[in-house]
Amino acid sequence: MSPLRPRLAALFMMLAGGLVASPRSNAQSNAPKETGRWISLFNGKDLEGWIPKFTKSPLGENYRDTFRVEDGLLKVKYDKWDKFNGEFGHLFFHQPFSKYRLRVEYRFVGDQCPNGPGWAVRNSGAMLYGQDPTTMRKDQEFPVSLEVQFLGGAERGKRPTANVCSPGTVFTMGGKLITQHCTNSTSDTFRGDQWVTVEMECHGFGPIKNYVNGQLVMEYEKPQLDLNDPDAARILKNGERDLDGGWISLQAESHPVEFRKVEIMLLDE
């Protein structure tokens, strides 16, 4: 049994009680109340306050000790894996948020886990507006959410970061409904093991802005459940598709990645 399991029991009872009763509910009701300053979601010592979920594993099981804290960093490591077989991982913060700025500093290190998909080389991300993790199917690969994609570049060619992918969701950009899975930002390409700072400014059902190293690279709005997606349709309540908040999670998609900062600033709106 994962060492996280015992201390998550009370948390699961709380989550099951319905902190987010519907996609458009007051998702920030259980969040820290102080606004206007950066608050670290990661204590630099352990995974306290975070819940792992891997495809094919139950909620709370940190499969193969993939998510770890070492040297003050939150790490995704694959040194205990023989090969990757579709076990996509997500590490959920234990409470939902609605209107906030999220700041993540990341870098890619080492080599991809054997048998990892080609598209997942130097690929991770932060999932925003995510579904309640207790509602995920055991075999579900990705939570219904908006993914702000973190990508590292190859030795040559362009590969922007802070793109948006949308498992089970759609959104509006430039006045048009975006239904394709991934939409690229205008960011630079970042190669090697350099640290990159991505900041996401989220105004509930309103504007969402992605920044890379302080530069605005993408703006979109009006996230909604995609009812053509079976997982999104399954969590629909009272016919409400619009999303104004949800859970944040960090990805493990087969390539080692390190996070130096995971900070949030609640917006006073």
Per-residue pLDDT tens over the stretch 63-73: 999 999 999 99
- For the beta carbon of residue 92, count every other beta carbon within 10 angstroms: 26
- Reading the block at residue 159, the tokens are 């590969």
CA atoms within 13 A on the CB side of 90: 30
Contacts (Cβ under 8 Å, ≥6 apart) of 58:
138
Of 24-33, 41-50, 99-108, 189-198, the one with minimum mean pLDDT is 24-33
245 — phi, psi (to 5°)? 170, 180
Contacts (Cβ under 8 Å, ≥6 apart) of 246:
20, 23, 27, 96, 97, 128, 129, 130, 131, 132, 145
What per-residue confidence (pLDDT) applies to 28?
Answer: 40
Of 23-32, 34-43, 193-202, 257-266, the one with minimum mean pLDDT is 23-32
pLDDT tens string 8-18: 444 544 444 33
What per-residue confidence (pLDDT) applies to 32?
Answer: 59
- Domain range spanning residue 220? 5-17+25-266
| Residue indicated by tokens 């930002």 | 185
What per-residue confidence (pLDDT) applies to 34?
Answer: 80
Tell me how many domains the chain contains.
1
Residue 101: Cβ-neighbour burial (10 angstroms; 0-12, 13-18, 19+) = middle
Q: How far is 198 from 23, CA to CA, in rounded Å?
A: 25
Residue 233: Cβ-neighbour burial (10 angstroms; 0-12, 13-18, 19+) = middle
Q: Is the pLDDT of residue 62 over 90?
A: yes
Of 12-16, 95-99, 110-114, 217-221, the one with minimum mean pLDDT is 12-16
pLDDT (average), residues 184-208: 98
Q: How confident is the model at residue 31 (pLDDT cuts 50, 70, 90)?
A: very low
What per-residue confidence (pLDDT) applies to 1?
Answer: 41
CATH number for 225: 2.60.120.560
What per-residue confidence (pLDDT) applies to 168?
Answer: 98
Mean pLDDT value across the chain: 90
What per-residue confidence (pLDDT) applies to 35?
Answer: 84
pLDDT tens string 202-260: 999 999 999 999 999 999 999 999 999 999 999 999 999 999 999 999 999 999 999 99
- Reading the block at residue 237, the tokens are 């309540």
